Structure 1
């Protein structure tokens, strides 16, 4: 059987958003690239499969980063003293204009792709730029990593500034050309329709992008209600809309194959649009803090049963670490509870693990769990260099790794769809 093997180690995964299953010295079985379950003792029917003994290491599901900007990786860690709109105009748009130069794009995307490959991210939903050739180059490089991803050619026919604004006709034509170029080209890298956000996309272009999404049965990604200034701008640009979310829903761009990043300032009508349509919310806690945007009410969204995952949102977020994203999600939820709305309890680390694995992974299908039938994405974590005099159980070690990975933690192995990814 292809992609069939057994990992032995200390296994931990979510069974619900609030609960984890931990099996010390257990076995997680992969059959044909899918999980066959976790067992305290290896069933006889799997005894003939190759066994990878991970010793005392931790085994958890892979993590899905459902909102990240690949071209912004080049200036991560810079410009964090600005709010969103000033940050876009000062850093983001000038940087993205460089990706018309394929030599520059190649150097930048080599760094991005290599770092993604070595990170805890096994699946990603990625923004490129408006440049067709540059976006195809990004897709080529991500395909080589073994990570599964959606990648979007960004569309923006207004308010892009110098060298980063298309005409409506060119944007639509280039998007169709890009879709034709990449159709059937990759095993793990898929296109996603990507209007940057309402302030950058006219109603006419939104209409055409929605048509393409329907024609090609493609998912959609964009931004929603991230910053008060942005929300006010949308009211001016789309006076006909009843809320910011309506500026997308009007064109049929919300749904359970759509990721909307942030959703910090969504009012009741917008929340109901997102809930009823099954739209995914990408919670980006570090970016929201660094750009002074706010704190999304993720507890409310989870209580409503909405689709929610995590995004690093580089370069609003400073790095690719989904572990840092988890700890930030917990931290900002505590601040929101203390300072904004004490009716919404803070997130637990178990819930943050759910968001990083099953929550975002479900955008890709049955992904993010070791329950039977899920695609086999896994991380083997070595925490042996994180010193402590205490005897910790499996969950305590996973929880500690989330917060202390940089103090000696190491990703020892990484699997996507049952295939091991080289970390060298």
Structure 2
């Protein structure tokens, strides 16, 4: 048993569905009791300490004890090319992504980047990531090996591409199926790891490959599937040329058994009414990647409209197309995108998206993303006065959210006072 003291924030409901005041519990002097990697109690500090008088205590003062951040869409192999200049999606892939990903057949290179990637994300308070690897099985092994060594809850899959990709980054329909199945059987359910079936996106997969991966998903319905959807207009036009028989981009995936609950659709910016209705009906998760969408000029995600329709939505950095490893910066970008659409998000909604909302999108809402008894003790402790600019603004706050919002908008890794993985400070 170990007790952490600080401000505590626990979501009890979705602040997009109920008034903010009814969606959370906040203790200005709270405590989280942890045992065997799980939360056993959350509440007022005096009550928790009285119930467990012999437990050692770590006092984080006025810092906010939050669930660890959950990044629902990343490309860990792009760590080294983050913040590369001046491209849109297709040019980005050809100029930066594909040359870098070609290096991941080297197990030593893959292992080095995986270690660096988790160093960077944990320093930013992110405790769960969902990554695309490369076509190389070695890239998947490196990511999961490093995540397992650190005790992380982590998800990933081999990226599959057999068309419109460089020869050194192309597999086949059969090898994509075989490699993915072998990796799934090796890693899925090992400790806190989950395999995700991963066609990169429709333009880089043949009909045969999409069908093969749809079959694999049908054989293993408990795993997730991730891909990209409607990120840029040029991409959508390309999909229409490649799949003229399909009604639209969503229908391409639907035809091959790649659209149902457990589908993680990255970006999902430019959707028709039919596509939106079908995604909702299927129960797919839409993953909002705001720093990426602005950095490579993709467009403005319709958070308000999609939430009002009842869509399931998570939040993500999309590193390295996204320009930051920080979910604080990602929350800030989500706020800015929503402002540009005329529908500002409340700070509670932003925080929920980065924690419980993303957990819900990943179908892990019963395990992570919430401060509550029984949940895995993955935590981020956030200093709400981490820089002079933030300190002077937060000092004027009269409510919790006035105190938190400056850190959302101006915070970085300096704001992360501590990160805990399964109850262990890392």
TM-score, with length taken from structure 2: 0.90
Match among 204, 216, 219 for residue 215 of structure 1: 219
- Quote the offset at 1:326 in angstroms: 0.2
2:347 corresponds to: 349
Larger deviation, residues 134-143 vs 319-328: 134-143
Partner of 1:273: 278
- 1: CA distance, partners of 2:253 / 2:196: 15
What secondary structure, in the 3-state scheme, does the structure 1 residue paired with 2:7 have? strand
Aligned pair partner of 2:162 in 152, 157, 160: 157
Deviations 1:177-229 (A, max 9, x none): 32344355x31222110000000111211121122223233210110111111
In the alignment, what sits opposite 1:370? 371
Aligned pairs for 1:67-146 (under 5 A) are 67-79=73-85, 81-146=86-151
For 2:208, the equivalent position in structure 1 comes to 204
User: SS at the partner of 1:10?
Assistant: strand
Of residues 241, 247, 251, the one that matches 2:246 is 241
Contact preservation (8 Å) 1:384, 1:409: no
The alpha-carbon distance between structure 1 residues 257 and 421, as it changes in their structure 2 partners (threshold 3 A), is farther
State the alpha-carbon separation in 1 of the partners of residues 55 and 207 from structure 2: 55
Equivalent-residue separation in structure 2 for 1:39 and 1:369 (angstroms): 17
The answer to whether the 8 Å contact 2:177/2:216 transfers is no
Question: Which position in structure 1 is the counterpart of 2:66?
Answer: 60
CA drift at 1:52: 2.5
Cα deviations by residue, 1:330-378 (Å, 9 ceiling, x for unpaired): 00111122xxxxxxx2222221111111110122232222244443332
Report the alpha carbon displacement of residue 256 of structure 1 after superposing the two structures with TM.
Answer: 2.5
Residue 17 of structure 2 is aligned to residue 28 of structure 1: no
Q: 1:160 to 1:421 in 2, by over 3 A?
A: farther
Q: Is the 8 A contact 1:14 1:350 kept in 2?
A: no
CA distance in structure 1 between the partners assigned to 2:418 and 2:40 by the alignment: 16
Pick closer, same or farther for the CA change 1:48–1:303 going to 2, 3 Å. farther
Whole-angstrom distance in 1 between the partners of 2:264 and 2:351 = 19
2:4 to 4, 7, 10: 7
SS of 2:216 mapped into structure 1: helix
User: Offset at 1:384?
Assistant: 4.1
Q: Distance in 1 between matches of 2:386 and 2:298?
A: 36
Tell me the equivalent position of 1:342: none
Report if the CA contact (8 A) 1:84-1:291 is conserved.
yes
Q: Distance in 2 between matches of 1:375 and 1:113?
A: 19
Deviation at 1:300, TM superposition (A): 1.1
* 2:370 match: secondary structure: coil
Confirm or deny: 8 A CA contact 2:295 2:322 kept in the other structure: yes
Residues paired across the two proteins, number: 408
Q: What is the SS of the residue equivalent to 2:411? A: helix
Provide the residue aligned with 1:382 in structure 2. 383
Shift of 1:144: 2.1
Q: Does structure 1 retain, via aligned residues, the 8 Å contact 2:187–2:193?
A: no
Asked if the contact 1:38/1:370 (under 8 Å) is kept, the reply is: no
Aligned counterpart for 1:285 among listed residues 282, 290, 300: 290
CA distance in 2, matches of 1:421, 1:162: 43
After TM superposition, the runs of 4+ consecutive aligned structure 1 residues lying more than 6 A away are: none
Q: Offset of 1:59 from its aligned partner?
A: 1.2
Q: Secondary structure of 2:91's partner?
A: helix
- Alignment CA distance shift 1:200-1:321 (3 Å): same
Contact 1:193 / 1:209 at 8 angstroms: preserved in 2?
yes
**Where does 1:290-305 land on structure 2 (aligned, <5 Å)?**
290-305=295-310
Instruction: Tell me by how many angstroms 1:318 deviates.
Output: 1.6
Cα offset for 1:82?
A: 1.1
- Point out where structure 1 has 5 or more consecutive residues left out of the alignment: 338-344
Structure 2: how far apart are the matches of 1:420 and 1:148? 13
Please state how far the C-alpha of 1:413 moved relative to its aligned partner.
2.1
The CA deviation at 1:41 is: 4.0
Secondary structure of 1:170's aligned partner = helix
Matched, 1:167 2:168: no
1:31 Cα offset (Å): 5.2
Q: What secondary structure, in the 3-state scheme, does the structure 1 residue paired with 2:15 have?
A: coil
Cα offset, 1:35, TM superposition: 5.1
Quote how far apart the aligned CAs of 1:311 are: 0.8
Query: Aligned with 1:255: secondary structure?
Result: coil
Normalising to structure 1: TM-score of the pair? 0.90
Please give the alpha-carbon distance, in whole angstroms, between the structure 2 residues aligned to 1:173 and 1:221.
Answer: 18
